[in-house]
A and B are shown apart, each in its own frame.
Chain A
Amino acid sequence: MSDTPLVQMRGVKVYFPLSRGEVVRAVDGVDLTLQPGEAAGLVGESGSGKSTLARALLRLLPLTAGEVWFGGKPLHRLSERELRPLRREMQMVFQDPMASLNPRMRIADILAEPLLVHGIAHGRQAKEEAAELLQRVGLPREYLNRYPHEFSGGQRQRICIARAIATQPRLLVADEPTSALDLSIRAQIHALLRQLQQEMNMAILFVTHDLHAVRQVCSRVMVMYLGKIVESAPVERLFTAPAHPYTQTLLDAVLEPLPTKARRPRRLPNGDVPAAVRVPAGCRFHTRCAYAQERCRVEEPLLQPAGEAHEVACHYPLRQKAV
């Protein structure tokens, strides 16, 4: 941890006001640190605020409160114009590759565009770089003259990734990049992300609801619930010794592909996730927590150390297995 962090978010809040004076507290006070070259996962169910947090990091959404530092620069204070040169250092990949590729542009032009925009290369050189980018994501250079509709979902996502790494970013934010793909394709894209992260020493913030995917891509995981990070730990630690009851609920809901494992006795999750306009007082998970005490209903727990590189926001964390 001697490195200067690549990303530091402090006390970040993103609220969306509704018409009747209600407020959606999508992100409700998050501190987050990413080291250079680190692959970190941000896991949560729908409505947890994980995508909003990722967009707030990239300043694609205005912050209600808090600070975002990127490579020592205060993104929260920069104007759009001042942000522009930094954009090449932080790129994003989305869930639906078709929606993020212009159907009328050839792959060569799609991949050359970021090079032109950021003044990295143009003309023949840009085309040559585009060909190299294709090869880096495992596609033959002959595809340069094709259009997006000629590709499968997995290939399109590879093209989106190629475009994202064109500017050699220091951070790649990937928001559910494989959720729309078939299983066998997912694993390939996960392997590609991991490979690029290591080759390019690029940090990845991998946003997903899929715990299995996190295990394939990341070395650290943060778990979000109703706008807050409730646990952060090295990936294997989180899977083998979760400290937050919500993390345990999530892990317990994963259905293994083997019947003998899938049919193990398991606790059914309680109730539904409350709406983000009515975040419960105290610990926001207490309404569904099997271990909630009186204190959990009134006092909000803060992230506290729960072992090596492990933090949890719970008054009564689960007993840790000996590691």
Chain B
Amino acid sequence: MSTASEPLLRVDGLTVAFGQQLPVVRGVRFEVMPGETVGIVGESGSGKTMTALSIMRLLPPGGRIVEGSILFAGLPLHQFTEAQMRQLRGGDIAMIFQDPFTCLNPVMRVGEQVAEAARLHRDRAEGNPNELALQMLRAVHLPDPERIARRYPHELSGGQRQRVMIAMAFICHPRLLIADEPSTALDVTVQLQILHLMRELQQQQGTAVLLITHDIGVVAYTCDRVLVMHRGEIVEAGSVYEVLEQPRHPYTRQLLEAVG
């Protein structure tokens, strides 16, 4: 078990490749402290999503960790079996993706899906999973949670579906949340609501967040620290104030100019 001064996640020398091709992630090294929000920003093909998927050990077929280590609360995830990983996923490590539609089961009522997460990863002593699910749907500020719980994913708006995803992610009080473009598919007004909600729950539960995005505004709004990735490598890292207000790497400057 890590203490507050120990990193919750420590990625060191991570190199990921597909087959015999050149690595898509090269020698990536970073840490995430408990409760901290770290952003990985980069354009498509920068390796940011592959970095996140390696931590979850969910690389697409053909992809593998060639080198490096991933320590989560001291546990060597890079050596874990699939069965061990399954214990962690959705429990101590939760995930949110860009498109909630593809992550939700289309033929299952959303209340049951949220309850299932509780059933898998929470002690029965903590309460009835259905009750916990309703509490959680209320905590993500869905209007009329009892009614929403009986709905199917296609009956909800994009913003409501993302709230359901967030409820599923937080119902097990994860220590780390990996969010890959959680607000990219949403309209700006909904994006702001969703980011605000994530931060609210993160603060309540003391969750650390690893946020993957191409949107520098999202990083500036939510993150403590940021890693800038370009062609598989981290080219700049530091507090968001340092990196975004006084960028040193030419690539970071270029990214900022494009939005500035």
Enumerate chain A interface residues (CB-CB to B < 8 A). 45-46, 182-184, 186-187, 209, 211-212, 249-250, 253-263, 266, 268-269, 271-273
Q: How far does the Cβ of B105 sit from chain A's closest Cβ, in whole Å?
A: 23
In the complex, what residues of A have CB within 8 A of residue B158's CB?
A: 46
Within 8 A of A (CB), among B188-243: 188-193, 196, 214-218, 220-221, 240-241
In the complex, what residues of B have CB within 8 A of residue A45's CB?
A: 187-190
Is B196's CB under 8 angstroms from A268's CB? Answer: yes
List 5 A-B pairs, Cβ < 8 Å: A45-B187, A183-B43, A259-B244, A262-B220, A271-B143
Q: How far does the Cβ of A227 sit from chain B's closest Cβ, in whole Å?
A: 16
B157 at the interface (CB under 8 A from A): yes
Enumerate chain B interface residues (CB-CB to A < 8 A). 43-44, 143, 157-160, 187-193, 196, 214-218, 220-221, 240-241, 244-245, 254-260
Is A261's CB under 8 angstroms from B259's CB? Answer: no
Q: A184-B255, A255-B221, A260-B245 are in contact. List 8 more A-B contacts (CB 8 A).
A: A46-B187, A182-B44, A182-B214, A187-B258, A250-B189, A253-B189, A257-B244, A261-B220
Known contacts A45-B188, A212-B259, A269-B192; A182 and B217 CB within 8 A of each other: no
Q: How far does the Cβ of A30 sit from chain B's closest Cβ, in whole Å?
A: 20
Instruction: Give the secondary structure class of A's interface.
Output: loop
In the complex, what residues of B have CB within 8 A of residue A257's CB?
A: 216-217, 220, 244, 256, 259-260
Assembly CA distance A255 to B193 (angstroms): 12
In the complex, what residues of A have CB within 8 A of residue B244's CB?
A: 257-259
Q: How far does the Cβ of A193 sit from chain B's closest Cβ, in whole Å?
A: 16
Q: Which of A249, A256, A262 contacts B189 (CB 8 A)?
A: A249
In the complex, what residues of B have CB within 8 A of residue A254's CB?
A: 188, 217
Assembly CA distance A212 to B193 (angstroms): 20
Q: Which residue on A lies nearest to B185, using beta carbons?
A: A46
Is A272's CB under 8 angstroms from B157's CB? Answer: yes
Is A255's CB under 8 angstroms from B192's CB? Answer: yes
Assembly CA distance A256 to B189 (angstroms): 14
- 7 tightest Cβ-Cβ pairs between the two chains A and B: A255-B217, A262-B220, A45-B187, A269-B189, A253-B188, A257-B216, A262-B221
In the complex, what residues of A have CB within 8 A of residue B193's CB?
A: 268-269
Q: How far does the Cβ of A202 sit from chain B's closest Cβ, in whole Å?
A: 25
* Most A Cβ at <10 Å: residue of B189, B241, B255: B189
Assembly CA distance A184 to B44 (angstroms): 11
Q: Which residue on B lies nearest to A251, using beta carbons?
A: B188
Assembly CA distance A305 to B254 (angstroms): 40
Q: How far does the Cβ of B201 sit from chain A's closest Cβ, in whole Å?
A: 15
